Amino acid sequence: MMLPASPGRVKLRAVPEFAQTIIAWQRRHGRRGLPWQGTRDPYRVWLSEVMLQQTQVETVIPYYGRFLDRFPDVRALAAASEEDVLRLWSGLGYYARARNLHRAARIVAAELGGRFPDTAQDLARLPGLGRSSAAAIAAFAFRRREAILDGNVRRVFARCFGIDGYTGSRAVEHRLWKIAARELPQREIGRYTQALMDLGATVCVRAAPRCDACPLAPRCVARRDGRTAQLPAPRPRKPCPERVVTWLVLMHAGRVLLERRPAPGLWGGLWAFPETEPG
């Protein structure tokens, strides 16, 4: 369908179906050679999806390799101590992910016979997996026809379909999930899922999106209306909480006293100097 041109706006051309367009793009321009690509092992897919939550690919790659060397399967991870898992995770951030990873591994090993659930609904019951991560694992490992909606994909949909508002709000998120479900292809679900991720991570980026390289440019509402910088809307600002504490550096004979921080909480489960409230 040809949309009428408006003064000062980019004219949109008719394009094939949304899913077909990005699948074809992924074959030619998608990311290649990532260590978790080309596998349908649910353990490896799950590990990568948890590590990639709120973390850049380049940061995750070395951690992913070290984890597989130390914990080659879910039973090995389940048998480890939490301290060993947190030590290997150190520097990757968002440490609740590591604790949930360990808890989930023990559930899979002890209660599920070492076999991961094969549906998004059952995967989402594991600690640390939300709806989108569970769907991605189901799509990649089990070829389930499930919709994903991580941060990058929200941005792609918000721009392409012209969705106003903060994508984390309940109303906007509901609209985006409906779009995600509507655009699912009948086949090639793994490649389609990867295409969405690749497009959001390499082309439809937050700042200075590469619209000239985007396969969705002919149908993108944000590009047509000159609103790529405004869509998606930013998270509403909240006051940043402040907390003042005093760290106690206690040394004796060349040794330093540390205590393990309670979990959950800031740096939960990690070792730090003892602290006390001022006053």
How many residues does this entry show for the chain?
A: 279
Question: Which of 49, 58, 111, 183 is labelled catalytic?
Answer: 49
Which bin fits 193, alpha (ψ -120 to 50), beta or left (φ > 0)?
A: alpha
To the query of whether residue 259 is one of the catalytic residues in this protein, the response is no
Bridge partners of residue 233, in order along the sequence = 166
Residue 64 corresponds to which amino acid? Answer: Y
Strand blocks (E) in the chain: 246-247, 251-252, 255-256, 259-260, 271-272, 275-276
* DSSP 3-state of 233: strand
- Phi then psi for residue 254, to 5 deg, are 80, 5
Question: Which residues fall within 8 angstroms of residue 164, CB to CB, at 6 or more apart?
Answer: 172, 231, 233
Catalytic residues: 49
